Each structure stands twice: as structure tokens, then as C-alpha cells.
Amino acid sequence: MSSVSAGPGIVYVFRDEAQRQGYLASRFRRVGCVPRIRSDELFDRHRDILQPLLVFLCERGRLPLKTEIQSAEAIVVALGSLQRAFSVLRDIIEDAAWEDARARRTQDLLIYLALARFGRRPRLSKLPADLQADIRAFFTSYQAACELADAMLFAVGDTLLVDQLCRKSKVGKRTPSALYVHATALSELDPVLRLYEGCARMFIGSVEGANIIKLHRGAPQISYLAYPDFERDPHPALYSSLLVPLQSFRVDTRYYDASSNPPILHRKEEFVAADHPLQAKFARLTAQEERYGLYAHPQRIGTRDGWSAALAERQLALRGHRVIRL
């Protein structure tokens, strides 16, 4: 039997190695986004059976096994084969969307294979059938895939490279010492940075309530920060932090719920991806706060008391995500 850390103090034990590997891979598999499709008479006529195939293609970047979608037999009856159905869909999907699906799935697989090395990486025959199909679809061989994954894992140990990728990241809030990313934006990071965070998650599991992940740039460590009411509170206060050093794995947990003056967040739009549903709302608040000069002394406003004082000095208050004059 093999175990997997599911969270701090929580371990899952698997009797079946294939199920364990399937679970591990699912933790780093991104959800595909079905692109807009061009109008097509043949697709419209068979939409009910082709739509599940379209979703699968966008999520996995390859043709499914016949056991992986329920409409497989109906597709074969209607169109002759899954390959014929794929040709129909390729005609109405932009090439860029298809290539993006394949690239995303390839990255997900490399991250999974890299992290699988922390245990005994199983033989290809010991993997679930869907993972075997993935690897055969995207790599020349299992050995080649493992070699690429090992190279990526080795890159995580390059502190200068990690720092460079953090500085170039298109998502997340950069500070001189770290890159802060909302949990919903983790999948948009460079694959090496995703693997960097994945090393900590393989050890500690998913940290309940942690919605901001801090990728340290000067030392190999990851912090999981909990900011309750991130979406509702314009400047949420830090509730807890959990630090995972990747060299010693001596976890350090701290709580701030009893503090009368906890750290708070500003510029929330910088933590999330551009497609986050509230990104524009967060950005409007930041722009309004900047116009009122509330960020003139950033060293003073990092805590709740300092922020309250800055508002009071200018006779301002917050009503939701709006600044109002008192």
C-alpha cells in the first residue's frame, strides 16, 4: 500500500498503485476551456454526441479511448469512427485552440511525472489506462517523458532561474522577495513555477483555506496564506500562514486571528488572473484609492491599523469596493 499527503495531518492510503497515480495526476491537471466553434451543419446535426468529444479534446488534447466518453459508440455509428469525428471538430476549432490544449496537457503530464519521482516512479504498465494513453499521445516514449520531467525538476533547484521566472511572470503580485499568486491563478504560472509549488504540495497536501500562495525568490520555500473573504472584503486580513521549506521540510504555521492589527492585502487585482470574474472590480478600487493618495506611504498601510489611519487622515471610508468621503 502507498500513501499520499492530502493535507496537513491527513494521509490517503491506496491499495492499488494505478489509483494512487491517477489521484496524483489529477491534482495537477488543469480544466480545459472549450473554445468558440465555427458554425457547421454536420456538427449541429450531431451536437448531442459530439459535444462530449469536444470537451474531452479540449481537456486532454487527444482522442479518447472508447471507454472514456459515453457517446463513443454513438459517434462510431453516426460518423464511422472517432477519428472521423475528430476531423469534423478540427474543421470548426481554431488551430491555436487545439495546440494550446495539447501544450497545456503536455505541461501537466511533465509536472506529474516530475513529482512522481519523489516516490518510486512506476512503470508505464502500472499507470491507469488514461495516463498511458496521454503519454503515448504526447511523447515518443515513456523514458523520453521521464527524462524531460527530470530536467524540469532539476530546474526547480536553480534559484536564479526561479527568481527570473518570478520576475517575468504575467500573473501574480511581485515583491522584492517573492511572487504572490491567488490559488485560482496557479495554473497560469510558468511550468517550472507550478512544479516549484507542487514540490511543497506533494509534501504537505492541500492546505485548507489557503488562497494566496507565496513563492519565495531568495530561498527554496513556499508559503500558504489564508485570507478569508478574499472576494468580499476589499482588504482582507491574514488569518494564518504555513511555510514549507523545500530543503528541511520543517513546516512553520502561524495564526493571526487573535491579532488586533493583522496584515492586510491591497491591490487584489494583481493576485488573480486576467480572466478572474472580479479582476476589473478589484482594479477599479485600486485606481480610486490611488487617486485619493492612499498609497502615498506604502510602508504604513500594510496592517489594519495603518490602513485605518490613512483613511481617517483623508476623511475617507470604504463601502464595499468603493471609496466614499465621510
CA angle, 105 then 110 then 111, to 5°:
100
CA distance 4 to 176: 34
**Mean pLDDT on 296-319:** 95
80 φ/ψ angles, rounded to the nearest 5 degrees: 100, -35
In whole numbers, what is the pLDDT of the chain averaged over residues? 92
CA angle, 175 then 177 then 179, to 5°:
55
Q: Give Cα separations from 189 to 64, 73, 170 (angstroms).
A: 27, 38, 8
Instruction: Encode pLDDT of 226-250 as tens digits.
Output: 999 999 999 999 999 999 999 998 9
The owner of cell 492530502 is 6
Question: What is residue 96's predicted lDDT score, i.e. its pLDDT?
Answer: 82
DSSP state of 188: G
Cα dihedral 227, 231, 32, 173 sign: negative
Radius of gyration of the chain measured on its C-alpha atoms = 23
Maximum average pLDDT range among 3-12, 26-35, 217-226: 217-226
Q: Could you tell me if 233 and 262 are in contact, meaning their C-beta atoms sit under 8 angstroms apart?
A: no
pTM of the entire predicted model: 0.90
Number of H helices, E strands in the chain: 12, 10
Biggest alpha carbon distance in the chain?
73
With a CB cutoff of 8 Å and minimum separation 6, the contacts of 168 are: 190
| All three cell numbers of 129 | 489506462
Question: What is residue 1's predicted lDDT score, i.e. its pLDDT?
Answer: 55
Instruction: Encode pLDDT of 159-188 as tens digits.
Output: 999 999 999 999 999 999 999 999 999 999
- The helix (H) or strand (E) run that includes residue 317 is strand 316-318
CA distance 7 to 24: 13
Strand partners, 173: 180
- The helix (H) or strand (E) run that includes residue 316 is strand 316-318
Q: Could you tell me if 314 and 294 are in contact, meaning their C-beta atoms sit under 8 angstroms apart?
A: yes
Cβ-count burial of 5 within 10 angstroms (0-12 exposed, 13-18 middle, 19+ buried)?
middle
Looking at the predicted structure, is the pLDDT value of residue 324 above 80?
Answer: yes
Closest among 194, 35, 43, 68 to 137, alpha carbons compared:
68
- The helix (H) or strand (E) run that includes residue 212 is strand 212-216
Looking at the predicted structure, is the pLDDT value of residue 101 above 60?
Answer: yes
Q: Could you tell me if 25 and 60 are in contact, meaning their C-beta atoms sit under 8 angstroms apart?
A: no
